[in-house]
């Protein structure tokens, strides 16, 4: 297992602070900061012309109203879309941020990040390479080392090959017995998983093996407290203020 120091906090804002602002936007990063998140998680994929952007879905439809696929749309066409109105009148005109703009925003806010590499189908390695290249050139030295994660092991393998020093976490909805094999294959330091499906036995196994354990998406304060009691290191939440209050006591 690689040993580069990773200062993972106990709490990470999900897609920024998705309970309060349009997910994966700069407004959401600001909201996360305002509500006490030390780090944020967000999703990065590539536009048709290979610009890394913050976006969860393969389609632009849900968050921008545009019925097109991200992988088939140029950055010029994406950056003029409104990614805020769906979340309410206060966010009309909020843009889809480039990964570069998001990094600059994090630098200004002093926020760390779990960068989820979320490739469009078939673009696993390409997306990972764009992410690590951007981090190498733009990640502020003042910020803690970011954590890379992905549901796609192929993306993590490509990230490792290109930039082995960025710590990685496997990202798995429901863990199976092969989790350790998958973690070792990409030299991961962490396991990120669906907190609603994590068993006490699996949490104990992961911690005994020396991995950092993070869970998403936990918005119920009592559930967050219970997961920490199982040995979970980090709670990824849409509502960082609520979760921070619950886990502080
Ligand atoms: O990275 C944790 C979590 O964001 C993974 O699921 O679908 O919200 O990206 P998703
Ligand atoms: Mg995500």
The three-class DSSP label of residue 194 is strand
User: Which residue, among 85, 87, 86, 55, has the nearest Cα to 73 in the 3D structure?
Assistant: 55
56 flagged as catalytic: yes
What residues contact 112, with CB distance under 8 A and at least 6 apart? 7, 9, 38, 39, 40, 106, 143, 144, 146
The set of long-range contacts for 66-69, using a CB threshold of 8 Å and a minimum separation of 24, is 69/120
pLDDT one digit per residue (tens) for the chain, 249 residues: 444 589 999 999 999 999 999 999 999 999 999 999 999 999 999 999 999 999 999 999 999 999 999 999 999 999 999 999 999 999 999 999 999 999 999 999 999 999 999 999 999 999 999 999 999 999 999 999 999 999 999 999 999 999 999 999 999 999 999 999 999 999 999 999 999 999 999 999 999 999 999 999 999 999 999 999 999 999 999 999 999 999 996
User: Which residue, among 164, 110, 109, 107, has the nearest Cα to 132 in the 3D structure?
Assistant: 164
Ligand 1 within 6 A of CB of 23? no
- Is the pTM here over 0.75, yes or no? yes
Angle between helices 124-138 and 153-162 (to 10 degrees): 40
According to DSSP, residue 87 is labeled G
**CA 99/CA 34 separation, integer angstroms:** 21
Rounded to the nearest angstrom, the distance between the alpha carbon of 20 and the centre of ligand 1 is 17
Structure tokens at 167: 């710590």
Ligand nearest to the CA of 194: 1
16, 54, 56, 218, best to mutate for ligand 1 pocket (most atoms within 8 Å of CB): 56
Rounded to the nearest angstrom, the distance between the alpha carbon of 216 and the centre of ligand 1 is 7
Structure tokens at 105: 């925003």
30 flagged as catalytic: no
**CA 96/CA 249 separation, integer angstroms:** 36
43, 57, 172, best to mutate for ligand 1 pocket (most atoms within 8 Å of CB): 43
């Amino acid at each position: 297992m690689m040993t580069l120091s990773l200062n993972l906090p106990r709490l990470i804002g999900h897609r920024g602070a998705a309970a309060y602002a349009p997910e994966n936007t700069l407004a959401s990063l600001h909201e996360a900061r305002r509500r006490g998140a030390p780090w944020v998680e967000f999703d990065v994929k590539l536009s048709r012309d290979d610009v890394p952007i913050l976006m969860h879905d393969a389609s632009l439809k849900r968050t921008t109203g545009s019925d097109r696929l991200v992988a088939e749309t140029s950055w010029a066409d994406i950056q003029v879309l409104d990614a805020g109105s769906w979340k309410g009148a206060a966010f009309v005109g909020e843009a889809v941020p480039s990964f570069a703009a998001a990094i600059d925003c994090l630098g200004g806010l002093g926020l760390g990040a779990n960068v989820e590499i979320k490739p469009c189908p078939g673009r696993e390695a390409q997306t990972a390479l764009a992410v690590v290249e951007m981090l190498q050139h733009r990640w502020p030295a003042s910020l803690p080392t970011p954590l890379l994660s992905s549901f796609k092991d192929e993306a993590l393998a490509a990230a490792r090959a290109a930039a082995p020093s960025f710590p990685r976490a496997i990202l798995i909805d429901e863990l199976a017995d092969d989790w350790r094999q998958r973690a070792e294959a990409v030299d991961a330091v962490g396991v990120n998983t669906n907190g609603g499906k994590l068993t006490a036995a699996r949490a104990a196994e992961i911690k005994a093996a020396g991995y950092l354990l993070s869970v998403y998406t936990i918005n119920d304060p009592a559930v967050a407290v219970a997961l920490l009691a199982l040995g979970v290191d980090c709670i990824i939440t849409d509502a960082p203020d609520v979760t921070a209050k619950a886990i502080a006591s």
